[in-house]
A and B are shown apart, each in its own frame.
Chain A
């Protein structure tokens, strides 16, 4: 992994930050709504057998948010532009939670540059009836409960040891951006499920065994809607499974995508 920090990328005129590490086939990792910290262990694990590209989405961390961005459609097209700009070939597309939603929106548009899709506790579809909440309302609980919902073991929630003002800006921007893209409809696109049949690549849907955010049955519905999908479970992991089980996650991803 390169120097402990981010690189600047300009994609379609939009300046973002990304961690780039490792060698081999490209692996584009799309983070969940909380963003990430560059010291998180999954970065090193995933980059052992791949050329990892882990951007902060536009509006998250310190990545620029164009004034006209307002929906996950914009993020999906942005990342398809990124894949083209970096000329990714035979790449693995991995998304966790909100990042899984973006990955699914990309894949229904074009899989040309990707060989495999891995969705880890993805949000993005509506599976149940209108009065049944598929996704826990993370905006209706306090910080302590929010952490408990996101992690099987809340002590594993990552935080910088001595946060700087720049870190606090990243947290505040990420929260605001998640709210912009995912407040209403709440963390889903009502039409996405009907387009998932377009995904024509082997897809692994990974469920954290202790996920408290997604309703039981949600990921089954997700996997069922994607033709070549299989659903597997990651033990001792909550919603942010990549943080809680970085090595196990990397093994599953590498194995699934033929990166062993």
Chain B
């Protein structure tokens, strides 16, 4: 198994204001962000990502916009820094919201550049993005997935096409001379990841044999992975564990109490993420007609994802305790032995997966705690996970010594 440390690079200094405002996103005044302090926060997180390189952990970055829950609004910029500064970690961008971007060729160029600078360590996530990302991007939500797949096809063609410039006159994107320099180092292109929550999304991802990544609960993961495996089987191939990724919030400690305390602090990510003002939760056209009909029938439209424990008990992720999150497999927390046991149990429950995204920092978890969390995990848990789900050797090309 590969384990990718992830942090949203939150700005909890503005969370009380966000709660008072009733939304952490879109409309929260950016004067609440202190650029000098924010620079320190971002640099601190870059240091923690650098530590991963020494610990044998891989790295994942994501982006959100207009929010105090995630200061990273530009994945390729931070990834470019890490491409240069790290030596061995795989660099997972999860990812670029390609349906919210006007220029897929530019995305192909950014990703190829990172792949070349990192000497082939890029894992390339292409994501739909959350509904509340529509407003900051002013993106047209209807037919968004059509735009997504056209952008996807164009990016991959831009990365792989041999023989000089090609023409692209699609429904959404128009170019007459596509010919990116540099092109990516990994051939034919860096591994592609796509995020999903609903089993309905599995089909198109399985058709392309991309890695599917999800989060929040074991129920969500199992249904999604099962749907992907079924689709693969229909198409005549077997989807191995290397096609599956799960993102969990992870706190380990020398004692169970310490691990739970860290898990509790990191879980503020899940508690704050869904706090979005009503009009931005479900922009028209983002969700299917059927989903909107169900929402209209059940009253005000919510965005808070349905998360249940393994016993099927719903939990409110805006308020849940670390114990409730653990029962839903949102959080793995405790001593290294306990955390390994939870992950192994979850791994077996969902039918196996080779990529674990570890949110090892969230909210107010400070630098000292974060470093201790990552170090203890890497020393005590990671080696056992490598045995649990062996993976191919990373295709990274080493720098010339």
Are A179 and B285 closer than 8 Å at their CB atoms? yes
Given contacts A168-B293, A169-B293, A172-B292, contact A184 B138 (CB under 8 A): yes
Q: How many residues belonging to A are interface residues under a CB distance threshold of 8 Å?
A: 19
- Report whether over half of chain B's contact residues are helix, strand or loop; otherwise say mixed: loop
Nearest 4 CB-CB pairs, A to B? A172-B292, A175-B284, A142-B278, A180-B142
Partner of B284, one of A140, A165, A178: A178
Given contacts A179-B142, A179-B283, A183-B140, contact A140 B135 (CB under 8 A): yes
Partner of B285, one of A140, A169, A171, A176: A176
B109 to chain A, nearest CB (A): 25
Decide if A173 is an interface residue (CB 8 Å cutoff): yes
Decide if A143 is an interface residue (CB 8 Å cutoff): yes
Are A183 and B141 closer than 8 Å at their CB atoms? yes
* Chain A residue nearest in CB terms to B297: A168
Give the distance in Å from the alpha carbon of A176 to the alpha carbon of B279 in the complex.
14
A sample of 19 inter-chain contacts (CB < 8 A) reads: A139-B284, A140-B280, A141-B279, A142-B277, A143-B278, A165-B293, A165-B297, A168-B297, A171-B296, A172-B289, A172-B296, A175-B284, A176-B142, A176-B284, A179-B283, A180-B140, A180-B285, A183-B138, A183-B285
Decide if B300 is an interface residue (CB 8 Å cutoff): yes
Give the distance in Å from the alpha carbon of A179 to the alpha carbon of B280 in the complex.
13
- Which B residues, 204 to 241, have Cβ-Cβ distances below 8 Å to chain A? none
Give the distance in Å from the alpha carbon of A178 to the alpha carbon of B284 in the complex.
8
Interface residues on B, range: 20 to 34
Give the distance in Å from the alpha carbon of A140 to the alpha carbon of B281 in the complex.
10
- Most chain A CB within 10 A, of B27, B280, B283, B297, is at B283
Are B138 and A176 closer than 8 Å at their CB atoms? no
Are A180 and B300 closer than 8 Å at their CB atoms? no
Give the distance in Å from the alpha carbon of A172 to the alpha carbon of B135 in the complex.
19
Decide if B143 is an interface residue (CB 8 Å cutoff): yes
Residues in B with CB closer than 8 Å to A139 are 135, 279, 283-284
Q: A142-B277, A169-B293 are in contact. List 10 more A-B contacts (CB 8 A).
A: A140-B279, A142-B279, A143-B300, A165-B297, A168-B297, A172-B289, A172-B292, A176-B285, A179-B284, A183-B285
Are A172 and B293 closer than 8 Å at their CB atoms? yes
Give the distance in Å from the alpha carbon of A183 to the alpha carbon of B292 in the complex.
18
Residues in A with CB closer than 8 Å to B27 are 140
Are A168 and B140 closer than 8 Å at their CB atoms? no
Residues in A with CB closer than 8 Å to B285 are 175-176, 179-180, 183
- Which B residues, 132 to 183, have Cβ-Cβ distances below 8 Å to chain A? 135, 138, 140-143
Binding site for B on A (CB under 8 A): 139-143, 165, 168-169, 171-173, 175-180, 183-184
Give the distance in Å from the alpha carbon of A173 to the alpha carbon of B296 in the complex.
12
- Which B residues, 114 to 143, have Cβ-Cβ distances below 8 Å to chain A? 135, 138, 140-143
B291 to chain A, nearest CB (A): 9
A213 to chain B, nearest CB (A): 15
A204 to chain B, nearest CB (A): 31
A76 to chain B, nearest CB (A): 19
Give the distance in Å from the alpha carbon of A175 to the alpha carbon of B143 in the complex.
13
* Chain A residue nearest in CB terms to B288: A172
Residues in B with CB closer than 8 Å to A173 are 289
B103 to chain A, nearest CB (A): 16
Give the distance in Å from the alpha carbon of A32 to the alpha carbon of B280 in the complex.
22
Are A176 and B293 closer than 8 Å at their CB atoms? no
* Chain A residue nearest in CB terms to B172: A70
Are A168 and B284 closer than 8 Å at their CB atoms? no
Are A176 and B278 closer than 8 Å at their CB atoms? no
Residues in A with CB closer than 8 Å to B300 are 143
Give the distance in Å from the alpha carbon of A165 to the alpha carbon of B289 in the complex.
11
Residues in B with CB closer than 8 Å to A177 are 142
B139 to chain A, nearest CB (A): 8
Residues in A with CB closer than 8 Å to B296 are 168, 171-172
B15 to chain A, nearest CB (A): 22
Partner of A179, one of B140, B277, B279: B140
Give the distance in Å from the alpha carbon of A179 to the alpha carbon of B282 in the complex.
12
* Chain B residue nearest in CB terms to A175: B284
Interface residues as binary, B283-308 with A (CB distance below 8 Å gives 1, 0 otherwise): 11100010011001100100000000
Residues in B with CB closer than 8 Å to A165 are 293, 297
Residues in A with CB closer than 8 Å to B278 are 142-143
Residues in A with CB closer than 8 Å to B142 are 176-177, 179-180, 183
Give the distance in Å from the alpha carbon of A44 to the alpha carbon of B297 in the complex.
29
* Chain A residue nearest in CB terms to B146: A67
Residues in A with CB closer than 8 Å to B277 are 142
Are A180 and B293 closer than 8 Å at their CB atoms? no
